[in-house]
Amino acid sequence: MGERLESEDDWFVIAEIGVNHGNSMELAKEMVKQAAAGGASAAKFQTYKASKLAIRDSPAYWDTSKEPAENQHELFSRFDLFEQEDYAELAQVAKEYGIEFMSTAFDLDSLEWIDPLVGMHKIASADITNTPLVRAIAAKGKPVCLSTGAASYSEIENAVAELRAGGVNDISIMHCVLNYPCEDHNAFLGRITELTERFPGVVLGYSDHTIPDTESTATLSAYLLGARIIEKHFTHDRSLQGNDHYHAMDFESLSALTKRLDQLKVMRKRPSEEEFLSVQDAAIRHARRSIVTSRPVKAGEVLDEDNLTTKRPAAGLSPLHWDEIMGKTCKHDLEEDALISFEDVE
């Protein structure tokens, strides 16, 4: 993942299409096109078969008023109709639109399907403790994005250790809260800072499940806190029924997000001291002060707070030299508002 970020200010936005295509290949292609047009760096899908993902009576853990389903197996069965050749076709479409293709594999067979099609793998939050899958992904030797929703720090450390033991050095850790939707007060963006401290040198990201607003508050705040990878569900129509539609971004919000990220990338640049000062040269010269006389001063008079003050511009001696001038004798007559220099004193 690090190789995709040329500088510490670069960003990488993953439009998580997931299964919002509803098994329609034409819609899936259109969503890839929209993701690319909106400025996303990657279009990501989800690859699974319900029978390999959940037992038949596995309980729902989302807002069932938004996503009615009696259990996980029922829900996942609705969206697992794409086959290996379908993902290959979508990968080609992504390539044509100049966007990276990704898909999260939720089982070992799905991993074999998508591995030839992707440049990096994504491990879903729920699979951070799925040792067989983590090890199989590590064995592919590609960069890995590791989502950490509902994970303790020890579980994150264990997954990172498994990946590194398998030969993966390019690991990105994604802060995530596994609520659908995630309420603002549960976003816990401060955890990004702690992840940075606990995993130095690792690229940080944020997988966002909050309800989107016009300012993209959560995602932009995460970027400013250090997240370089931004992942959010993506849909063509937020009004559609379904868990991954109503808390997703659409083309308009994606376009606004990527434009704001470009703006913030420029604004958060860390300059050299020379660059920092050079862009403020006029202010330094005209808004800072010099030591000047506060009234006419005669030759031989001692300079002190009675006859000296500081005024703009900074064309004379800086007030940093105030103590060096205090108590010195004036060599010659000076008018009021005269700029003081070392040549004026004994």
- Per-residue pLDDT tens digits of the chain, which is 346 residues long: 767 898 889 999 999 999 999 999 999 999 999 999 999 999 999 999 999 998 888 887 777 777 788 888 887 888 899 999 999 999 999 999 999 999 999 999 999 999 999 999 999 999 999 999 999 999 999 999 999 999 999 999 999 999 999 999 999 999 999 998 899 999 999 999 999 999 998 999 999 999 999 999 999 999 999 999 999 999 999 988 776 888 899 999 999 999 999 999 999 988 999 999 999 999 999 999 999 999 999 999 999 999 999 999 999 999 999 999 999 999 999 999 999 999 999 9
Q: What's the CA gap between 112 and 92, in Å, rounded?
A: 17
Q: What's the CA gap between 324 and 346, in Å, rounded?
A: 12
Does residue 185 share a domain with residue 126? yes
Domain encompassing residue 298: 277-344
Domain count, the chain: 2
Does residue 295 share a domain with residue 154? no
Does residue 282 share a domain with residue 219? no
Does residue 228 share a domain with residue 194? yes
Residue 112 lies in a domain: yes
Residue 89 lies in a domain: yes
Does residue 187 share a domain with residue 306? no
**Cβ neighbours, 10 Å, residue 186:** 11
**Residue/partner pairs of 260-266 with CB below 8 Å, 24 or more apart:** 260/216, 260/220, 261/11, 261/13, 261/220, 261/223, 261/230, 264/220, 264/223, 264/224, 265/9, 265/10, 265/11
Does residue 221 share a domain with residue 177? yes
Does residue 41 share a domain with residue 16? yes
Give the distance, in angstroms, between the CA of residue 303 and the centroid of all CA atoms in the same chain: 56
Does residue 308 share a domain with residue 261? no
Burial of 139-153, coded b for 16+ CB within 10 Å and e otherwise, reads: ebeebbbbbbbebee
CATH of the domain at 338: 3.90.1210.10
Pairing of strands 229-233, 203-208: parallel
**Cβ neighbours, 10 Å, residue 175:** 27
Phi/psi of residue 205, nearest 5 degrees = -140, 180
Q: Name 227's Cβ contacts closer than 8 Å, sequence gap at least 6.
A: 175, 192, 204, 205, 206
Residue 2 lies in a domain: no
Does residue 180 share a domain with residue 288? no
Residue 148 lies in a domain: yes
